């Protein structure tokens, strides 16, 4: 059966099949109007308000297979919600079948083998908590309630990227339910084409019910540097940061984040409401050494304040959570990968940081680091790793009346900085709301797009999994 338009499913005429689905599951089926339906369809970005025809909350892989088979038999496209943080709202759809993995968050650590087995609905907080119980970690994101799945499948950029690479570089195997309802292991030795595609190809290839991550000794105490400079300090501290990192590419995970000083007692009152930037950096090795080596980042002029210190890795992983509460804000994010970080780009980033229409907006210059850049272009779907830097513009605002101003400003800032990008390459988790269409996805994958489209045709010929940065099946 062809996967049809998501709007066409009629629950009333499919009551018998729905009953069979419900009674066969360990988890739940939620229809519009039923308790839990609205909670399940809510996602992090308050701009997204979509209504799936039905929501399945699987309890395990067998439930996922049943949901995928039901969708295929009824011609329904499938949205997969991991952590629900996708800014474009790809975890939820209008009309189709949504698989909400919120009941599948288990994490099992094998400390001797240095492996973590993580269910497809886990968050980074779930993973860090279990792995740090053994003094181990795998690179995750910067916010603890972001989903492991969506973040990892598009690449995954966190504090450990300089030393241990992107999240995908640490996936040893994926446990996947394909569009055919088959459960397969994708690894170097099993379905290697799928293993390659899943490392960067997003949610296009099936429902990942389990990840096997390689673990590394980290912490439990690490050094976190976070001196905050007023934008009036100018570009000097940022240029210093860029040059300082040149011979420490394998050791420090770092970004400069432009924001607004909060009106709270954590900051001197004279700076409240002013624009600022934080030179945020994590030294993943010995914390004492990190404190000594990173001290110069904190000595580049008058500070608003300085949140630096040795702290538990799990705490570092939650430090930015309060800036990004779920469902409170509207957001639109864009980015570019860049080979270099010239002074002119720093100047523009500084101007943009000062001019953002919303005080909630964050924009950042990310250093990608040695381990991320060391992966050969052909090794993963992400492709060429020569990008040393990324500029992300993460617009966040509370009021729907300000949508146009904030989206317009973000796009203008993105267009103006395009000249610094690497031929349109970008991180697909910070790519707007889909309005740039297939062209943006093709630019992001470059030469790898054709190979991804061929693998998509093999594993999802009907494009059942289309609520993502969609790769159309070849042919
Ligand atoms: C507050 C916040 C902070 C962030 N910080 C970072 C950061 O530090 N580093 C970084 O790299 N990114 C970061 N991001 C971006 C983030 O990686 C993406 O938004 C990502 O899509 C979120 O994954 P999720 O599982 O929470 O999203 P969801 O909305 O649940 O899903 C996103 C996409 O992944 C697919 N998907 C989800 N689960 C599965 C699964 N089990 N199997 C197959 N496909 C699946 C979905 O189909 C969808 O297309 C952040 C986003 C937010 C909102």
Rounded (10°) angle between helices 15-24 and 61-73: 170
- Closest residue by Cα to atom 45, ligand 1, is 203
Instruction: Please provide residue 209's backbone torsions phi and psi, each rounded to the nearest 5 degrees.
Output: -90, -20
The helices-and-strands tally (H runs, E runs) of the chain is 15, 20
Name 167's Cβ contacts closer than 8 Å, sequence gap at least 6.
Answer: 138, 139, 140, 141, 148, 151, 152, 155, 156, 157, 158, 213
- Closest residue by Cα to atom 53, ligand 1, is 85
Pairing of β 171-177 and β 183-187:
antiparallel
Q: Tell which atom from ligand 1 comes closest to the C-alpha of 83.
A: 26
pTM of the model: 0.97
Please tell me the predicted confidence (pLDDT) of residue 5.
Answer: 58
Testing ligand 1's pocket by substitution, the residue of 145, 150, 397 carrying the most ligand atoms inside 8 A of its CB is 150
Q: State the distance from the centre of ligand 1 to the C-alpha of 313, rounded, in angstroms.
A: 21
Please tell me the predicted confidence (pLDDT) of residue 440.
Answer: 92
- Closest residue by Cα to atom 19, ligand 1, is 86
DSSP secondary structure code for residue 373 in this structure? H
Please tell me the predicted confidence (pLDDT) of residue 183.
Answer: 98
Please tell me the predicted confidence (pLDDT) of residue 325.
Answer: 79
DSSP secondary structure code for residue 322 in this structure? G
Burial readout 46-77 (b: 16 or more C-beta within 10 A, e: otherwise): bbbebebbbbbbbeebbbbbbbbebbbebbbb
How does pLDDT run along the chain (475 residues), one tens digit per residue? 666 655 567 877 789 999 999 999 999 999 999 999 999 999 999 999 999 999 999 999 999 999 999 999 999 999 999 999 999 999 999 999 999 999 999 999 999 999 999 999 999 999 999 999 999 999 999 999 999 999 999 999 999 999 999 999 999 999 999 999 999 999 999 999 999 999 999 999 999 999 999 999 999 999 999 999 999 999 999 999 999 999 988 999 999 999 999 999 999 999 999 999 999 999 989 999 999 999 999 999 999 999 999 999 999 999 999 888 787 899 999 999 999 999 999 999 999 999 999 999 999 999 999 999 999 999 999 999 999 999 999 999 999 999 999 999 999 999 999 999 988 899 999 999 999 999 999 989 999 999 999 999 999 999 999 999 999 999 8
Beta bridge partners of 366: 255, 390
Please tell me the predicted confidence (pLDDT) of residue 6.
Answer: 53
- Closest residue by Cα to atom 34, ligand 1, is 150
Pocket (CB within 6 angstroms of ligand 1): 43-44, 80-87, 90-91, 101, 120, 141-143, 146-147, 149-151, 153, 156-158, 202-203, 207-208, 324, 429, 467-468
Q: Tell which atom from ligand 1 comes closest to the C-alpha of 89.
A: 29
DSSP string, 179-207: TTS-EEEEESSSSHHHHHHHTTSGGGS-E
Cα–Cα distances in Å, from 23 out to 15, 80, 400? Answer: 12, 21, 41
In order of their start, the domains of the chain are: 15-100 (3.30.43.10), 107-218 (3.30.465.10), 221-439 (3.40.462.20)
Spatial distance between the Cα atoms of 383 and 319, rounded to a whole number of angstroms: 31
Q: Tell which atom from ligand 1 comes closest to the C-alpha of 176.
A: 42
Spatial distance between the Cα atoms of 399 and 406, rounded to a whole number of angstroms: 10
Q: What is the CA radius of gyration of the chain?
A: 22
Please tell me the predicted confidence (pLDDT) of residue 4.
Answer: 66
Are 214 and 109 in contact, with CB atoms under 8 Å apart?
no
Q: State the distance from the centre of ligand 1 to the C-alpha of 246, rounded, in angstroms.
A: 30
Spatial distance between the Cα atoms of 208 and 200, rounded to a whole number of angstroms: 13
Are 388 and 162 in contact, with CB atoms under 8 Å apart?
no
Q: State the distance from the centre of ligand 1 to the C-alpha of 60, rounded, in angstroms.
A: 20
Instruction: Please provide residue 138's backbone torsions phi and psi, each rounded to the nearest 5 degrees.
Output: -125, 150
DSSP string, 383-421: ------EEEEEEEEES-GGGHHHHHHHHHHHHHHTGGGS
Phi-psi domain of 432 (left: phi exceeds 0; alpha: psi -120 through 50; beta: other): left
């Amino acid at each position: 059966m062809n996967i049809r338009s998501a709007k066409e499913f009629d629950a009333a005429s499919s009551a018998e099949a729905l009953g069979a689905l419900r009674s066969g599951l360990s988890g739940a089926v939620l229809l519009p109007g039923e308790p839990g339906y609205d909670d399940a369809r809510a996602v992090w970005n308050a701009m997204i308000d979509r209504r799936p025809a039905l929501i399945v909350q699987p309890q395990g892989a067998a439930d996922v297979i049943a949901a995928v088979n039901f969708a295929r038999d009824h011609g329904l496209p499938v949205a997969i919600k991991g952590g629900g943080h996708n800014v474009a709202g790809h975890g939820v759809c209008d009309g189709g079948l949504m698989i909400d993995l919120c009941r599948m968050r288990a994490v099992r650590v094998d400390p001797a083998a240095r492996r973590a087995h993580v269910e497809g609905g886990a968050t980074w907080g779930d993973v860090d908590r279990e792995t740090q119980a053994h003094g181990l970690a795998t690179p995750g994101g910067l916010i603890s309630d972001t989903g492991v799945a969506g973040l990892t499948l598009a690449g995954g950029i966190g504090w450990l990227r300089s030393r241990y690479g992107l999240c995908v570089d640490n996936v040893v195997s994926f446990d996947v339910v394909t569009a055919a309802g088959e459960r397969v292991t994708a690894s170097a030795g099993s379905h290697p084409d799928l293993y390659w595609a899943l490392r960067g190809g997003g949610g296009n290839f099936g429902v990942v019910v389990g990840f096997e991550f390689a673990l590394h000794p980290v912490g439990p105490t690490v050094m976190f540097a976070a001196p905050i400079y007023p934008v009036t300090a100018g570009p000097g501290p940022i240029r210093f940061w860029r040059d300082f990192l040149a011979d420490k590419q394998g050791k420090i995970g770092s970004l400069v984040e432009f924001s607004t000083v909060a009106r709270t007692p954590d900051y001197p009152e004279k700076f409240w409401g002013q624009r600022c930037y934080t030179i945020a950096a994590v030294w993943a090795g010995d914390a004492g050494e990190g404190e000594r080596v990173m001290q110069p980042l904190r000595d580049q002029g008058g500070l608003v304040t300085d949140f630096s210190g040795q702290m538990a890795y799990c705490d570092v992983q939650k430090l930015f959570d309060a800036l990004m509460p779920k469902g409170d804000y509207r957001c639109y994010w864009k980015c570019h990968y860049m080979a270099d970080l010239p002074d002119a780009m720093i100047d523009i980033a500084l101007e943009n940081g000062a001019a953002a229409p919303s005080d909630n907006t964050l924009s950042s210059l990310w250093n990608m680091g040695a381990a991320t850049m060391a992966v050969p272009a052909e090794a993963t779907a992400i492709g060429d790793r020569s990008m040393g830097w990324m500029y992300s513009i993460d617009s966040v605002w509370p009021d729907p009346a300000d949508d146009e101003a904030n989206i317009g400003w973000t796009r203008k800032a993105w267009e103006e900085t395009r000249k610094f990008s690497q031929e349109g390459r970008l991180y697909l988790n910070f790519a707007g709301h889909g309005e740039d269409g297939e062209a943006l996805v093709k630019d992001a994958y470059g030469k790898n797009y054709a190979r991804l489209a061929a693998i998509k045709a093999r594993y999802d010929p009907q494009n059942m999994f289309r609520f993502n940065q969609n790769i159309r099946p070849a042919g």
